[in-house]
Amino acid sequence: MEDKATILIVDDELGPRESLNMVLKSFYNICMADSGVKALEMIKGEDIDLAILDLKMPGLQGIDTLREIKKERPEIEVIILTGYGTLKTAVDGIRYGASDYLMKPFNVVEIIAVIRKILEKKRFYNEFKTFLKELGSRSGIDLPHAKRQVNWDHSLFEMIKEAMIRPSDRTEDDGSHNYIEFVKVLANTLENKDPYTHGHSSRVNYFSNLIAQKISLCAEERDYLQIGTYLHDIGKVGIDNKIILKDGKFNEQELEIARRHPEIGVELVKSMGISHQIISVIRHHHEFFDGTGHPDGLKGEEIPLLARIVSIADSFDAMTTDRPYRKAFSIEEAILELRRCAGTQFDPILVESFIEIINEKNESIQRQIQQTVSKVGVG
């Protein structure tokens, strides 16, 4: 059996406090506080996983208690309890970092389900954070991201769950499916840093697959491409958030740092023992066809094919999504831009294949961009 989580019940009224205690004490360690001030004292001394907080209390109000808890101990999950007619306050609570809210009088089945869901999410989050730290220490790279509190959105949580708990995924001799799920999670976590790149890897994956289909890439290469698209920017976890989240164009020095992400990415994944085809995507997706790209200044077909594909898909996605400093290009404008850079930045033959397929599938591409971009801002 796993260790019991500790729950803090904060309510000024004895009745609800005790009844929650009765319901929960056989599953969890319970602490209780009858005011916001006492709750704040308790979180300093006890190892609390989750707090259930009444919003309407004399003295320090629930919402203020919530804000203080989140300031002091952001890792504590908070569920707020609210009476009839105060839905707006509950919504405010979510804005200030509460994980969920429950209406009073509470329903026992519902409250247990909500607590389980939240604690499960927290456990996956911790596992995932440990994974990132481990990755950082194995590769000797400091990962600022691993120390940061991640805003989880539901889909991300579902993906982590899928990647981590399906029993077949736990076997030693891998299913590549598991691996793909896991790299998706990594990519999504990374993209959560920046609303402008939300969904970027899945779109790069989608566009790359279109090119792969068009040029009849073999199944094995397509598998590598699949993973490569999700991992291509993984090195950004090693770059300071200040640069990743910058609202505007980089200055010279920042550009220099940002340009290191392919190399950092390779350092990171080397320790995972993954194939050189995938590594080549990570390292070379910013090479230019005319040899003026980075990090190695490779030219033409010296640039591995998969990296040349991802480079086009990556840039096409950047062009067709909004950036802090400019609006998205239309597909037609993006096609013109691809053509303009064919032969200098991009492989001209692959550009033509991609444009052909864009013209064939314009509608579904439009949909793909809309669907993933409209999720921006969830977390």
Nearer to Fe ion, 43 or 350 (CB): 350
Query: Least distance in Å: CB of 232 to Fe ion?
Result: 6
Query: Least distance in Å: CB of 311 to Fe ion?
Result: 9
Nearer to Fe ion, 122 or 285 (CB): 285
Nearer to Fe ion, 233 or 317 (CB): 233
Nearer to Fe ion, 36 or 238 (CB): 238
Q: Which stretch binds Fe ion (CB under 5 A): 130-138, 142-150, 210-218, 233-241?
A: 233-241
Q: Which of 77, 233, 287, 347 contacts Fe ion by CB under 5 A? A: 233
Question: Is residue 49 close enough to count as binding Fe ion by CB under 5 A?
Answer: no
Q: Which stretch binds Fe ion (CB under 5 A): 19-27, 126-134, 231-239, 321-329?
A: 231-239
Contacts of 281 (CB under 8 A, 6+ apart): 224, 225, 228, 229, 231, 232, 304, 306, 307, 310
Nearer to Fe ion, 62 or 235 (CB): 235
Which residue is associated with the tokens 């073999």? 218
Q: Which stretch binds Fe ion (CB under 5 A): 14-22, 49-57, 193-201, 226-234?
A: 226-234
Query: Least distance in Å: CB of 286 to Fe ion?
Result: 6
Query: Least distance in Å: CB of 233 to Fe ion?
Result: 4
Parallel, antiparallel or unpaired: strands 29-33 and 6-10: parallel
Q: Which stretch binds Fe ion (CB under 5 A): 2-10, 13-21, 225-233, 333-341?
A: 225-233
Query: Least distance in Å: CB of 261 to Fe ion?
Result: 6
Query: Least distance in Å: CB of 300 to Fe ion?
Result: 20
Nearer to Fe ion, 93 or 228 (CB): 228
Nearer to Fe ion, 187 or 351 (CB): 187
Query: Least distance in Å: CB of 55 to Fe ion?
Result: 44
Query: Least distance in Å: CB of 285 to Fe ion?
Result: 6
Q: Which stretch binds Fe ion (CB under 5 A): 19-27, 61-69, 134-142, 230-238?
A: 230-238
Contact map string, positions 158 to 177, toward Fe ion, x by CB under 5 A: --------------------
Strand order in the sheet with 6-10: 29-33, 6-10, 50-54, 77-82, 100-103
Query: Least distance in Å: CB of 243 to Fe ion?
Result: 13
Total number of residues binding Fe ion (CB under 5 A)?
1
- The residues binding Fe ion (CB under 5 A) are 233
